[in-house]
Amino acid sequence: MKKMNVLLVCGSGASSGFMAANMRKAASKAGLEMDIKARSESEIDNYIDEIDALMVGPHLAYILDDIDEYTQGYDVKVILMKPEYYSSLNGEKAIEHLMQEMNK
């Protein structure tokens, strides 16, 4: 499997920064090759052509329709993160959820 590029977005990028770090640890522990970045939602279109998955903070569910416009024509899986693991910044659960979604 090629290296997976994942972009996390939350409002300001602060909590997703911690989440990205925890996910990177969990991914390498699981032997998965991933590049996980955290950015604010305003930067999505700068990265859309280089990512495989876009994980969105649960509090941003309302922007999912806008995100659909960004991802038009790109093969990007958009995943709404679950509050259960997002609030505790549980990288392992986030990676689990990501892999389930990518394998659908």
For the domain that residue 17 is a member of, what is the CATH number?
A: 3.40.50.2300
The 10s digit of each residue's pLDDT in 31-43 is: 999 999 999 888 9
pTM here?
A: 0.93
pLDDT at 79: 97
Residue 84 sits in which domain range?
Answer: 4-102
What is the count of structural domains for the chain?
1
* Sheet hosting strand 34-40, strand order edge to edge: 34-40, 4-10, 53-56, 77-80
pLDDT at 12 over 70: no
Burial letters for 63-73: b for 16+ Cβ neighbours within 10 Å, e otherwise?
Answer: beeebeebbee
